[in-house]
């Protein structure tokens, strides 16, 4: 890990509404860094020197890994969408893409950063692929992974064999936790969207001492222009976004084919009546009735925008919508790979992500998030009103049972 030092003439330590401490430049009130990531604070000659972690090298590797995995997924989705109806009901393409994407990310990260202390918390494992029925799927995955790595020119000199690919997939069995560094990966988030030809994301985050410090979201089908001006009829529309954020450095978006990055921000809207909100496409993943009640209490006029996957976090980080509501059915436990990357992409763009009670998300507890009820996301200005609407709606729902 590298260290970056920077100096400011005057700084204040602040605590925000979610009890996060940050170092704030007194001169322009710009947040400099979460305090947990400042290593030394030295004051001399009225200048404060701050040494902080820099994750530039990990970020470059993560962007490469997610972009290459996206290339693999796009290839599979293209074939899938051209297939006839009968073979579309066969779920194996998504399986091949899920495993293939996980293998590519694991291989690229280890080639770039070394494998000595590599730890990955990821959705898939090779259990089914090691069974006799998994052999044909495994053969297709190995082929696809090798083709994808070779297409980059950097990684493809020596082809990977069966055991290499299985090991790469299984490197994702880490339990994560509060100490050390752990990569967090959803190789395809929004598998249902992937099958429909809609939105999905390759979501890669990095935890350091239990905090998310990097977030990369590759969204191959997300339009580069705002969803607010999206025209589904326009087949010339440019799609394929890569969002990335490093803690303390803001959020950027570039096209998956490598345009210059632009800094993005959440909306600065403060009137909920003008806000639009995102929710899961799949009613099985989030209670649409509850979101609609919350939106009504807030006075939101626009209908919900339903899209799959963490593409919702990406879209929100650039102000396409103002609110994301996620209320899974009772008993569902959220996994860290469904939120880690998206969380940082939104937080670094100025947004707030919390559970339904306003508590910050805790990614340090292993593979699952312990949450109160659901996840809500919006900007700083709208959060107080949103929290109230959520509380009132949950009470109303409870008393009607």
The contact set with ligand PPS (CB under 6 A) reads 123, 186, 188-193, 280-282, 284-286, 308-309, 328-329, 332, 335, 338
Retrieve residue 282's tokens.
């799949």
- Selected from 279, 308, 320, 338, the binder of Mg ion by CB under 5 A is 338
8 Å CB contact between 378 and 398: no
Alpha-carbon radius of gyration of the chain? 21
The angle that helices 92-113 and 162-170 make with each other, rounded to 10 degrees, is 80
Number of residues forming the site for Mg ion (CB under 5 A): 5
Shortest distance, position 199 Cβ to ligand PPS, whole Å: 8
Given 148, 191, 251, 378, which residue is catalytic? 191
Q: Residue 208 or residue 338: which is nearer to Mg ion going by CB?
A: 338
Helix segments in 83-134, DSSP class H:
85-88, 92-113
Measured CA distances, 4 to 1, 39, 50, 56, 294 (Å): 10, 10, 8, 10, 43
**Interface with Mg ion includes 308 (CB under 5 A)?**
no
Q: Which of 66, 123, 315, 394 binds Mg ion (CB under 5 A)?
A: 123
Q: Whose Cβ is closer to ligand PPS: residue 194's or residue 252's?
A: 194
Who's near 221: CB < 8 A, 6+ residues apart?
A: 193, 197, 198, 199, 200, 239, 240, 311
| Secondary-structure breakdown of the chain: helix, strand, coil percentages, each rounded to the nearest 5 | 35, 25, 35
- Of all residues in the shown chain, the one whose CB is closest to Mg ion is 189
Structure tokens given for 25: 């430049």
**Phi-psi region for residue 120, left (φ > 0), alpha (ψ -120 to 50) or beta?**
beta
- Which listed range, 81-89, 186-194, 274-282, 352-360, lies at the site for Mg ion (CB under 5 A)? 186-194
| Smallest separation (angstroms) from Mg ion to the CB of 338 | 4
Report in angstroms how near the CB of residue 197 gets to ligand PPS at its nearest.
13
Asked whether residue 125 is marked as a ligand-binding residue, the answer is no
* Binding at 281: pick from ligand PPS, Mg ion, none (beta carbon under 5-8 Å per type): ligand PPS
Residue 56 labelled as part of a binding site: no
* Closer by beta carbon to ligand PPS, 212 or else 377: 377
Cβ distance to Mg ion smaller for residue 22 or 102: 102
155 is in the binding site of which of Mg ion, ligand PPS, none (Cβ under 5 to 8 A by kind)? none
- Our answer to whether residue 191 is catalytic in this structure is yes
**Ligand-binding site membership of 362 (annotated):** no
Is 164 part of the annotated catalytic residue set? no
Residue number with CB closer to ligand PPS (136 or 282): 282
3-class SS of residue 245 = strand
User: 346 — phi, psi (to 5°)?
Assistant: -75, -45
**Residue 186 marked ligand-binding:** yes
Residue 195 Cβ, how far from ligand PPS at the closest point, in Å? 10
Q: Which part of the chain contacts Mg ion (CB under 5 A), choosing from 138-146, 313-321, 334-342, 366-374? A: 334-342
Rounded-to-integer distance, Cα 31 and Cα 349, Å: 12
C-alpha 327/C-alpha 372 separation (Å) is 10
Question: What is the full DSSP assignment across 130-170?
Answer: GSGGGHHHHHHHHHHHHHHHHHHSSS-SS---HHHHHHHHH
| 164 assigned to a ligand binding site | no
Task: Select the binding partner of residue 192 from ligand PPS, Mg ion, none (C-beta < 5 to 8 A, by kind).
Answer: ligand PPS
Segment 21 to 40, residues that bind Mg ion, using CB under 5 A? none
Nearest distance, CB of residue 88 and ligand PPS, angstroms: 17
From the number of C-beta atoms within 10 Å of its C-beta (0-12, 13-18, 19+), residue 398 rates as exposed
Binding site members for Mg(2+):
123, 186, 188-189, 338
| Active-site residue set | 98, 191
Q: What are the residues binding Mg ion (CB under 5 A)?
A: 123, 186, 188-189, 338
């Amino acid at each position: 890990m590298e260290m970056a030092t920077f100096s400011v003439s005057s700084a204040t330590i602040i605590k925000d509404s979610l009890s996060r401490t940050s170092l704030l430049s007194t001169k322009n009130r710009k947040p400099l860094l979460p305090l947990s990531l400042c290593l030394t604070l030295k004051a001399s000659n009225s200048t404060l020197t701050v040494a902080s972690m820099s994750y530039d090298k990990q970020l470059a590797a993560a962007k490469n890994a997610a972009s290459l995995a996206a290339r693999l997924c796009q290839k599979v989705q293209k074939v899938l969408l051209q297939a006839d109806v009968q073979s579309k009901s066969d779920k194996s393409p998504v399986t091949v893409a899920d495993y293939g994407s996980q293998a590519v990310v694991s291989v690229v990260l280890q080639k770039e950063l070394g494998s000595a202390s590599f730890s990955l918390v990821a959705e898939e494992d090779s259990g089914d692929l090691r069974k006799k029925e998994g052999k044909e799927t495994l053969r297709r995955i190995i082929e696809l992974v090798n083709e994808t790595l070779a297409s980059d020119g950097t990684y493809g000199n020596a082809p990977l064999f069966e055991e290499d690919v299985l090991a790469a997939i299984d490197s994702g069995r880490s339990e994560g936790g509060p100490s050390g560094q752990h990569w967090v990966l959803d190789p395809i988030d929004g598998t249902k969207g992937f099958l429909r030809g809609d939105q999905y994301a390759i979501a890669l985050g990095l935890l350091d001492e239990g905090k998310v410090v990097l977030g990369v979201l590759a969204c191959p089908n997300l339009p580069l222009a705002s969803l607010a001006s999206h025209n589904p009829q326009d087949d010339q529309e440019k799609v394929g976004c890569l969002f990335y954020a490093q803690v303390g450095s803001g959020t950027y978006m570039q096209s998956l084919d490598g345009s210059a990055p632009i800094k993005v921000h959440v909306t600065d809207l403060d009137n909920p009546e003008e806000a639009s909100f995102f929710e899961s496409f799949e009613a099985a993943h989030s209670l649409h009735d509850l979101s609609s009640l919350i939106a009504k209490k807030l006075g939101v006029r626009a209908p919900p925008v339903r899209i799959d996957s963490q593409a919702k976090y990406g879209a929100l980080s650039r102000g396409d919508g103002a609110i994301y509501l996620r209320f899974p059915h009772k008993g569902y436990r959220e996994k860290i790979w469904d939120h880690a990357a998206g969380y940082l992409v939104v937080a670094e763009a100025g947004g707030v992500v919390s559970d339904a009670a306003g508590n910050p998300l805790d990614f340090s507890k292993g593979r699952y998030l312990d949450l109160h009820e659901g996840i809500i996301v919006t900007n700083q200005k709208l959060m107080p009103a949103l929290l109230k609407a959520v509380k009132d709606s949950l009470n109303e729902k409870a008393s009607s049972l």
